């Protein structure tokens, strides 16, 4: 063979090795093997390793016993929560507090604009109470604690230190949590399932301790806190709520819990003989009849309205769970890194599998989720709409658009509240809320009131739906809200008479929440997002057989350019010290979102973004960032054709990029779980594999150093 042919052959072989993913699409992924090799296995008490079952609108979190036996021990870890979409409570508004009392006017561009904010400590006492009440209410409710009441031989209550020989596994393929442990040397086995369609769980317990009466069950109703977080273990003030047995028989019982105007029920069922008694207020004990059997099955369904239905049973719940999870894992996308030699590959694959599980049980309901899902409250349990992108976009990219669309219907339900905000501030259309509630009410906030990057999200969501189903039905379903969203965006932009350019601000806080609203204008990311969203909204008008909107075109034609200095994009035009002021080198490096979350928009310079990326990589204080920042940076690196940096960003060794044994993204002691990080890593990985429009490269975000072998299927490219 001639030397040139040998060299060509070697080059071709090197190309095949380095482009590891080109041939990887041919072999079908064994999805069961992929999923099951990341089953979660727990062998000791770890309060950050709680396991959960759920269905997207209801989640039940367990400790090492398979139930919620030690809620106080886990309260500062991943709490043992029981939450649903419908479970909300509000304290009585006896003082008739109104949102109008939190309003403060800010002058911007020659006029005063009212914002609902957190008033300073120097404000009158009533004003401060108004703000606190409106932020705290309504709050998501911890529905109840279902755990074991374990007793030792001497009759004293067992503590967590009495639990030994722990062996617990979450089977991701079936949704089963199997928990094994010893109590004073005697084995206990517990199997826990969540129902796919009901707000219910069921357990099956095997142990000789059932015969001796040392294993009983309890339902304990906590009272909500009026604090930022609620871990579901507030047993104080029993006089403030009521609970009672409303139905009782040998095969089941129904409990009622009432807190002010909130009223709901827990329907319990058991297969073998048992009884229920009220041990103390809000504390009910279910006792299997002793000396009868080593096995006991118990189900608990949480319902907003009492009905005459029979309790569900363990077999029905088990069947529901197994069918649900196998259908889930066999649909949509999959990414398999088996065979890679890079030591990060197995951990990345684990994060992707567990993030799919967690977002499916925590964030797949009929409204945007809170940042801590359905486990415990953060920000009083309220959704933050700027985070909905990170909670939901991955569903579309992983071929599960239906799970995104479930939450999009909520926007239509709260449209009127968004119109009220826009009208109050003198703008057209709808101004989407930041911190909100099931009814779409606005919560006062010194940050949220000034954020605008949640505004274009609805257009992005609608566009993802259209890309999946390019038909008239999709257009008709979403077009009115797309147009109303764009109407606000166009009216919000201010035509600066000095420059003849439309600007964004003053009176805003960018996604990088380090800027004062009074001073800030023209943040880079928001300018790019405005351009992309208004351009896309015009396409929706064309698809709807309507003429282009002249106002939107005027804004697009005159929108301020992306601010830069010395060939690097600034965080905002008002921040020439973006990379010299230490405070601006923390929080989200959101300038990168302009090419990461978004495709190339008119006026964006790729070489300049390359320099910006390098600058941020070198100077950013990465220890002061959030879980979704790492996938966001990975997206930018992918679009810049820098796969090594994409992987380095995605797997950066920083505390807020920690993924616990259960797959949750840990931030700090306040936010022990953070689901925008889980959604973010899924979105980034999809783009790194399936690419984006006009990428011109297969797996543009996967390093080509020969250490990565990746197979993927069912993923969709990003816009």
Average pLDDT over residues 437-456: 97
Residue with tokens 């996308």: 333
In this prediction, residue 25 has a pLDDT band, given cuts at 50, 70 and 90, of low
Percent of the chain having pLDDT more than 90?
92
Q: Are 362 and 56 a contacting pair, CB within 8 Å? A: yes
Shortest CA distance to 714 belongs to which of 21, 35, 25?
25
pLDDT in tens, 634-657: 999 999 999 999 999 999 999 999
Cα(210)–Cα(208) distance, rounded to whole angstroms?
A: 5
Burial of residue 606 (CB within 10 Å: 0-12, 13-18, 19+) is exposed
Average pLDDT over residues 262-291: 94
Structure tokens at 686: 């999809």
Q: Are 103 and 114 a contacting pair, CB within 8 Å? A: yes
Which positions ≥6 away from 307 have C-beta within 8 Å?
none
Structure tokens at 695: 């990428």
pLDDT for 14: 34
Distance (Å) of CA 652 to CA 622, 625, 627: 9, 12, 11
Residue with tokens 């890194």: 337
Q: Give, as one character, the DSSP assignment of residue 157.
A: B
Beta bridge partners, 295, equal 206
Cα(578)–Cα(325) distance, rounded to whole angstroms?
A: 47
Q: How many helices (H) and strands (E) does the chain have?
A: 17, 28
Cα(700)–Cα(503) distance, rounded to whole angstroms?
A: 34
Average pLDDT over residues 200-206: 98
Q: Which CATH architecture has domain 48-87+141-314?
A: Distorted Sandwich (2.70)
Shortest CA distance to 20 belongs to which of 711, 714, 717?
711
Cα(430)–Cα(311) distance, rounded to whole angstroms?
A: 44
Q: Are 281 and 220 a contacting pair, CB within 8 Å? A: no
Average pLDDT over residues 519-530: 98
Structure tokens at 690: 């399936």
Q: How many CB atoms lie within 10 A of CB 557?
A: 8
Structure tokens at 304: 């907003």
Domain ranges of the chain: 18-41+334-362+621-719, 48-87+141-314
Residue 717, pLDDT > 70, answer yes
pLDDT for 308: 82
pLDDT for 426: 97
Structure tokens at 587: 């929080």
| Whole-prediction pTM | 0.95
pLDDT in tens, 78-87: 999 999 999 9
Distance of CA 678 to the CA centre of its chain: 7
Residue 291, pLDDT > 90, answer no
pLDDT in tens, 350-362: 999 999 999 999 9
pLDDT for 20: 42
**176-183 and 252-259 as β-strands: parallel, antiparallel, unpaired?**
unpaired
Shortest CA distance to 632 belongs to which of 680, 665, 579, 586?
680
**Torsion sign across C-alpha atoms 534, 382, 301, 674:** positive
Structure tokens at 208: 């000789």
Q: What 3-state class would DSSP assign to 411?
A: helix
Residue 465, pLDDT > 90, answer yes
pLDDT in tens, 135-146: 999 999 999 999
The secondary structure element, H or E, covering residue 631 is: helix 629-639
Q: Are 283 and 218 a contacting pair, CB within 8 Å? A: yes
In this prediction, residue 547 has a pLDDT band, given cuts at 50, 70 and 90, of very high
Beta bridge partners, 477, equal none
Cα(589)–Cα(642) distance, rounded to whole angstroms?
A: 18
Residue 205, pLDDT > 90, answer yes
Q: What 3-state class would DSSP assign to 430?
A: coil
Considering just the CA atoms, what is the radius of gyration of the chain in Å?
A: 27
Cα(28)–Cα(714) distance, rounded to whole angstroms?
A: 11
Q: Helix, strand, coil: what percent of the chain each, to 5?
A: 35, 20, 45
Distance of CA 489 to the CA centre of its chain: 26
Q: What 3-state class would DSSP assign to 167?
A: strand
């Amino acid at each position: 063979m001639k030397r040139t042919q040998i060299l060509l052959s070697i080059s071709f072989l090197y190309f095949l090795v380095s482009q590891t993913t080109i041939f990887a699409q041919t072999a079908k992924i064994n999805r069961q093997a992929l999923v099951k090799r990341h089953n979660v296995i727990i062998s000791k008490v770890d309060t950050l390793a709680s396991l959960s079952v759920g269905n997207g609108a209801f989640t039940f979190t367990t400790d090492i016993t398979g139930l919620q036996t030690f809620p106080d021990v886990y309260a500062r870890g991943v709490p043992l929560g029981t939450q649903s979409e419908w479970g909300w409570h509000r304290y009585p508004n006896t003082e008739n507090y109104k949102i109008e009392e939190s309003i403060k006017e800010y002058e911007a561009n020659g006029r005063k604009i009212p914002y609902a904010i957190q008033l300073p400590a120097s404000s009158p006492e009533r004003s401060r109470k108004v703000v606190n009440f409106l932020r705290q209410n309504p709050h998501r409710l911890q529905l109840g604690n279902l755990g074991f009441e374990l007793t030792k031989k001497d009759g004293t209550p067992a503590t967590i230190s009495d639990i030994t020989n722990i062996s617990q596994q979450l089977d991701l393929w079936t949704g089963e949590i199997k928990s094994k442990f010893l109590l004073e040397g005697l084995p206990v086995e517990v199997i826990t399932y969540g129902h796919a369609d009901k707000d219910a769980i069921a357990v099956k317990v095997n142990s000789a301790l059932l015969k001796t009466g040392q294993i009983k069950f309890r339902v304990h109703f906590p009272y909500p806190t009026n604090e930022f977080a609620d871990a579901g273990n507030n047993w104080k003030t029993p006089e403030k709520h009521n609970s009672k047995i409303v139905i009782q028989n040998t095969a089941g019982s129904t409990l009622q819990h009432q807190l002010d105007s909130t009223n709901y029920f827990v329907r319990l069922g058991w297969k073998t003989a048992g009884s229920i008694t009220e041990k103390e207020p809000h504390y009910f004990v279910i006792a299997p009849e002793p000396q009868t059997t080593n096995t006991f099955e118990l189900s608990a369904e949480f319902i907003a309205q009492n009905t005459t239905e029979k309790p569900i049973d363990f077999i029905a719940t088990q069947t529901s769970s197994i069918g649900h999870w196998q259908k889930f894992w066999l649909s949509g996308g999959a990414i398999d890194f088996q065979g890679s030699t890079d030591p990060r590959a197995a951990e990345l694959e684990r994060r992707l599998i567990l993030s799919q599980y967690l977002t499916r049980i925590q964030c797949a309901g009929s409204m945007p989720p809170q940042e801590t899902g359905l486990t415990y409250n953060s920000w009083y349990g309220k959704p933050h709409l700027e985070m909905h992108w990170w909670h939901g976009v991955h569903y579309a990219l992983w071929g599960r658009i239906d799970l995104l669309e479930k939450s999009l219907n909520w926007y239509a339900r709260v449209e009127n509240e968004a119109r009220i905000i826009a009208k109050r501030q003198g703008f057209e259309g709808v101004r989407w809320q930041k911190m909100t509630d099931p009814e779409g009410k606005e919560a006062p906030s010194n940050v949220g009131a000034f954020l605008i990057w949640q505004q274009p999200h609805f257009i992005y969501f609608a566009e993802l739906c259209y890309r999946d189903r390019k038909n008239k039905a999709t257009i008709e379903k979403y077009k009115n809200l797309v147009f109303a969203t764009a109407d606000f965006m166009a009216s919000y932009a201010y035509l600066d008479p000095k420059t003849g350019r439309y600007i964004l601000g003053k009176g805003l806080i960018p996604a990088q929440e380090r800027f004062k609203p009074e001073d800030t204008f023209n943040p880079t990311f928001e300018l790019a997002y405005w351009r992309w969203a208004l351009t896309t909204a015009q396409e929706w008008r064309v698809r709807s057989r309507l003429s282009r909107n002249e106002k939107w075109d005027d804004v697009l034609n005159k929108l301020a350019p992306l601010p830069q200095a010395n060939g690097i994009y600034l965080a905002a035009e008002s921040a020439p010290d973006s990379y010299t002021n230490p405070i601006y080198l923390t929080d989200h490096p959101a300038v990168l979102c302009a090419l990461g979350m978004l495709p190339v928009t008119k006026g964006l310079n790729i070489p300049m973004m390359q320099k910006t990326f390098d600058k941020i990589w070198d100077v950013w204080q990465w220890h002061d960032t959030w879980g979704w920042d790492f996938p966001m940076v990975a997206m930018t690196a992918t679009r810049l054709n820098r796969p090594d940096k994409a992987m380095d960003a995605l797997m950066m060794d920083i505390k807020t990029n920690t993924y616990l044994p259960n797959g949750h993204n840990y931030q700090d002691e306040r936010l022990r779980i953070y689901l925008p990080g889980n959604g973010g890593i899924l979105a980034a990985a999809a783009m790194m594999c399936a690419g984006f429009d006009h990428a011109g490269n297969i797996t543009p975000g996967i390093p080509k150093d020969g250490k990565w072998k990746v197979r993927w299927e069912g993923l969709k490219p990003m816009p």
